[in-house]
Amino acid sequence: MQATATQTNPIISFKHVNKIYDNGTVGLKDINFDIPRGQFLVVVGLSGAGKSTLLRTINRMHEITSGEVLVDNESVSDYKGKALRHLRRQIGMIFQNFNLVKRATVEKNVLSGLVGYYPTWRCVLGLFTPHDRKRAFQALDRVSLTKKLFSRADELSGGQQQRVAIARALMQDPKIMLADEPIASLDPRTTKAVMDTLKRLNREDGITVIVNLHSVELAREYADRIVGLRSGELVYDEPIDQVTEAGLNQIYQTKPEA
């Protein structure tokens, strides 16, 4: 069989990645795997398994202790200044608590996604061009929220706020979207709206999406592939058509005593 581009050219690679926090806690232990371009990857595992740590090594919110993280075949560990800013522009991120400026309008929150492109003072002063505003409107359209353009962020439901956060990330024109427990504080209906939005961006825009989830059911519903972490180690890695209940249970077993 002929190798496809995604097989030969992963967008992200972890090579023997270890992360030990300053207090000695092992965050990640010898992580090795590739993420093909355009994949919808879900990372599952118990609380403290290392999911957030893993995600944050990709955009260098966390530094690794050893090994290599490659984005587009380039090791990002030594990136500084311009190179690091360029890396972070390509990677959108959303969080459990949305991280919006609650008293600001939806439009202003979305426009703040341009902070990686403009000096911060320009964003703070709100010096955006008509073209920027048009892009903010288009980003909100992608998450079906144009009607809320001039609402204050804290007037929106949790699910809507998370979609504003997604629109803000879209302003970066990202190749990769990291989502750290994006639905942990949402009810089932709004959860579906957020997960469907991420899936649509993955399918229609080709954005590689990596989501940390506690819910195995949601992982099975949305993922192309599921990886499982336990105590910082990769203990599970299967494409969705090979995921089984028994396999998933293995992620949640506690380690036998040595």
Q: Which residues of this chain interact with ligand ATP, rule CB under 6 A? A: 21, 23, 25, 27, 45, 47-53
The smaller minimum CB distance to ligand ATP, of residues 27 and 159, is found at 27
CB of 57 to ligand ATP, least distance (A): 10
Beta carbon of residue 23, minimum distance to ligand ATP (angstroms, whole number)? 5
Q: Which CB sits closer to ligand ATP, 217 or 241?
A: 217
Minimum distance, C-beta of residue 1 to ligand ATP, in the bound complex (Å) = 36
Residue 88 CB-half CA count within 13 A: 19
**Given strand 208-212, what is the order of strands in its sheet?**
91-95, 176-180, 208-212, 40-44, 225-230, 233-239
Taking the complex as a whole, the smallest distance from the CB of residue 148 to ligand ATP amounts, in Å, to: 29
CB closer to ligand ATP out of 27 and 113 = 27
Rounded CA separation 249/235 (Å): 11
CB distance 98 to 161 below 8 Å: yes
Report residue 140 CA to chain centroid gap: 18
CB-nearer residue toward ligand ATP: 138 or 215: 215
Only one residue has tokens 């929106």, namely 156
Q: Is 236 in contact with 244 (CB distance < 8 Å)?
A: no
Give the SS3 label for residue 63: coil
Shortest Cβ 62–ligand ATP spacing (Å): 8
CA distance linking residue 200 with residue 194, whole number of Å: 10
Closer residue to ligand ATP in complex, CB, 9/25? 25
Place of tokens 């979609």: 163
